[in-house]
Structure 1
Amino acid sequence: MTDRELLLNLYITQALLLFIAIVIGIWQYDHFSSFLAIWQWDVFELFVIGGISGILVVIIDLFLMKILPKDWYDDGGINERIFQYRSTFHLFILCLLISLTEEILFRGVLQAHFGLFWASLIFALVHLRYLSKLFLLVSVMILSFFLGILFWWTHNLCVTIVTHFLIDFLLALNIKRQTKQNQNIRGDDGGTSGGSA
């Protein structure tokens, strides 16, 4: 599959998840106003709770990437192929789309009506490429429970969207930065590969 086809699959998957969220949401929510009630523009919750939570997850993830074997984080190169050559603006749009779609479905619809456990389990199962890697599977489950706890605590979908967005966007920027560093290293030393920072 080419990188272009991979990106197209990502967009199609997000559209499908959003469609599923709309169908289940129409079935489960009595009134649209009930769904709107979980969208709260609370600056403290968004930037302090959501922002700090997202940044902490990224710091922990980057630290673990430094100390754990590289193959524990290997998803078959999918994340690199999706993120490494995109413009910063395109990364912003992609990560915003992913965080909006997944949080609407998993927290705003599934968790709100079926509970934290089922929403987190389905969230992990949807990330198919992680199912064959125990560490990645456990990581995505922990992340899903963490986002679910944030939603349970704040009752604010905007908080989990901000957290999810920051995690995806900052890690995507890291992939882009590492790719650029590796290209510079290969260019400087005549083509031998070097490690990422």
Structure 2
Amino acid sequence: MRKQADLVRHLSDKELLLNIYFTQFLIVIVATIASFLFTGHMFGFIEMPSWSFDMTVVFGFFFGIVVVVIELILVRFLPRSWFDDGGVNVRVFQNRSVTQIFLLSLVVAFCEELLFRGVLQEQFGLVVASLIFAVIHVRYLAKPFLFIFTIVLSFSLGLFYIVTDSLFAVIAAHFTIDFLLGLAIRFGVLKNR
């Protein structure tokens, strides 16, 4: 975790954003390749019925708000050190405009949910997709509370996907979580995340 934090600390703002967007591009490439391997179609995830855009999207935003409220309550009552990811999230969001946080949150939510719910969960189930989601957030591996929180969040998003059968709803939830927490960091509500 410290290694990643040190790397991020030495990147310029432009390099940091390029790294984040490049990582998300790689996630879409992996999703496309995996979709081809598992379904025989490069964009098999697009043909799935889980692209419904209906009231479940509203529930996605509500789900995201509930997660953020829970996290803000936990931050208030638990030791601050439990939430310290080495300053990576602060570095990512602290000096961004609201528009940049919005766009970054949207891209991350779309790309990650496409791979983890749209491809991996569809092929391997909730448990495998959720555990892989938690593990790719490597900076949390050395922090037991953050890692457990990420696993619980991932399982929750996976269950929400099962209940709604809508990738848009899960993308909306993931976006809302990242966007609101990004704003909380940007405006000083969360200092060590």
Which bracket does the TM-score occupy, shorter chain normalised? Answer: 0.7 to 0.9
* Structure 1 CA distance for aligned equivalents of residues 33 and 53 of structure 2: 25
Query: 2:57: which partner in 1?
Result: 46
Question: What TM-score do the two structures reach when normalised by structure 2?
Answer: 0.88
Runs of 4+, deviation exceeding 4 Å: 30-34
Change (3 A) 1:71 1:34: closer
Larger RCO (alpha carbons 8 Å, 6+ apart): 2
From the superposition, tell whether residues 131 and 61 of structure 1 become closer, same or farther in structure 2 (CA, over 3 Å): same
Structure 1 gaps, min length 5: 182-194
Q: CA RMSD in A?
A: 1.9
Please give the alpha-carbon distance, in whole angstroms, between the structure 1 residues aligned to 2:36 and 2:11: 36
User: Aligned partner of 1:175: which letter?
Assistant: I
Structure 1 position 29, deviation (Å): 2.3
Counterpart in the other structure of 1:133: 143
Aligned length: 180
Looking at structure 1, the residues matched to 50 and 12 of structure 2 have their Cα atoms a distance apart, in angstroms, of 36
* Cα distance in 1 between the residues matched to 2:45 and 2:91: 39
Q: How does the TM-score come out when normalised to structure 1?
A: 0.86
Question: Equivalent pairs: percent with the same residue?
Answer: 44
- 1:73 corresponding residue in structure 2: 83
Partner of 2:3: none
Alignment of 1:1-197 (within 5 A): 1-4=10-13, 5-30=15-40, 35-36=46-47, 37-42=49-54, 44-47=55-58, 49-178=59-188
Unaligned runs of 5+ in 2: 1-9
Residue 135 of structure 1 aligns with an amino acid whose one-letter code is F
- CA deviations on 1:74-101 (whole Å, 9 max, x unpaired) are 0000000000111110110000000000
Choose 1 or 2 for highest CA Rg.
1
